[in-house]
Amino acid sequence: MMISEEKKTNSQAFSLIELLTAMTILSVLMLLMTSLLDQVQKSWRFGEERISQFREARVAFDLMTKNMSQATMNTYLDYEYDDDNQVKEYKKRSELHFYTNHAKTLEGSLNLNGQTSGHVVFFQAPLGYSNRYRNLSNLFNGRGYLVVHGSDREFIPSIVQNTTHRFRLMEFRPPAEANQVFQDAIDEISEDGGGTQEFTKWWNQGLSGIGETSFEYYLNPMAQNIVLLLVTPMDTLESLVDDRYDTSSEIAPNYIFDSNKPRIAGVEQQVPPLVKVTMVAIDESTAVQLEDEFGEQKPDIIPDDLFVDTKDYNEDIQELIEHFNDHNRTERSKINYRVFSTVVMLRSAKWLK
């Protein structure tokens, strides 16, 4: 009986080979789990970085479109006189202005401390911003938005020595007391010194005694690493019913709209009912790589021949994405980007042709 019990006890133990095999399998499983956990952590960290990188862009985009939705003209009817000073007809008039154009048109006339990208938009809205008056939420403010590439020296403390060169979404934000529409009529003199001033470039016509009376004085960065801003005024979405890919704009076929001198007669002194706003942002790691590659110069990542005609909008967006993807395949630097787009309805629009 003792012998049989001893044999039975020995048969229940693990051999050295079995222990080594089990430890090997366990080590392999632990290595696989560690590698899997590391990949999950990297993916989570990458996702968090992308969200945080583009959070600033999303906030700026939402604020810009919210302000734009409040753009107004306060259009009214007034007499139009003939050469004999007799009333000829009624004519729509407004002291306010809505204007979109290609941003590069401003580079020669304004000291932007950099190069522009995409489009620019200027408008008037009751935003209630003032340095002198409080609790007046309906005060009119001028607003403007454009993308500029340049140094951040003007926006950082003087004790900071290192500067960076980035694309930035800039906001033209003068207070209500610096709004050109509040200028006294006796001071509304045109640039050549004669006649009443026309409000065609009010963003560059400062008020005497207010601030520095310059465009750049009221220009502030809203978000960093915004490489492109597109603004498309539209009068209707009816064309999209028949052709969902038709992006042409009758009132701004080349993205240019001026409420004082519209392309179509009869719609002057009115804001467009709809404005399609598109913004392209990159992350900080991409911006650092581009600065290492291009230095202080504006990175050549947006082809110049894009976004000239509104009917080619979809094709231009697709070509831009393919351009980014080609860059990622052929260059060491990688462009991580995100496209924001929405159609803004201007609540004060009263579209009368």
What is the distance between the terminal CA atoms of the chain, rounded to a whole angstrom? 113
Give the least confident one: 17-31, 36-50, 167-181, 267-281: 36-50
pLDDT attached to residue 185: 45
Q: Give the pLDDT confidence of 295-332 residue by residue, as tens digits.
A: 888 998 999 889 999 999 999 999 999 999 988 888 77
In the predicted structure, residue 337 carries a pLDDT above the cut 60: yes
In eight-state DSSP terms, residue 71 is -
The answer, yes or no, to whether residue 89 has pLDDT greater than 70, is yes
- As a whole number, mean pLDDT of residues 8-13 equals 59
Mean pLDDT value across residues 150-172: 86
What's the pLDDT tens digit per position in 181-190? 666 544 444 4
Across all residues in the chain, what is the average pLDDT?
81
Q: Distance between CA 99 and CA 88 in Å, rounded?
A: 28
| pLDDT score recorded for residue 123 | 93
C-alpha torsion sign, points 87, 89, 90, 92: negative
> How much is the pLDDT for 223?
92
Structure confidence by residue, pLDDT tens digits, 93-151: 888 889 999 998 887 666 666 789 999 999 999 998 888 888 888 888 889 999 999 88
Q: Residues 264-295: pLDDT tens digits?
A: 877 888 899 999 999 999 988 899 999 998 88
Give the pLDDT confidence score for residue 353 in this predicted structure.
52
79 Cβ partners below 8 Å, 6+ apart?
A: 87, 88, 89, 90, 91
pLDDT value at residue 347? 85
- Give phi and psi for 20, each to the nearest 5: -65, -40
Quick check: 20 pLDDT over 90?
A: no
Structure tokens at 124: 């008037």
Residues in the chain: 353
Share of the chain above pLDDT 70, in %: 80
What are the structure tokens assigned to 134, written together? 């409080």
Please tell me which residue, 234 or 196, carries the higher pLDDT value: 234
Position 332 scores a pLDDT of 75
Least confident of 149-158, 291-300, 335-344: 149-158
What is the average pLDDT across 38-59?
Answer: 77
Q: How many CA atoms lie within 13 A of 15 on its CB side?
A: 4
Where is pLDDT greater, at 12 or 83?
A: 83
**Which of 17-26, 49-58, 128-137, 337-346 reaches the highest mean pLDDT?**
337-346
Per-residue model confidence (pLDDT) at position 64: 96
The answer to whether the CB of 238 falls within 8 A of the CB of 41 is no
- Which pLDDT score is estimated for 244? 57
Higher pLDDT: 16 or 324? It is 324
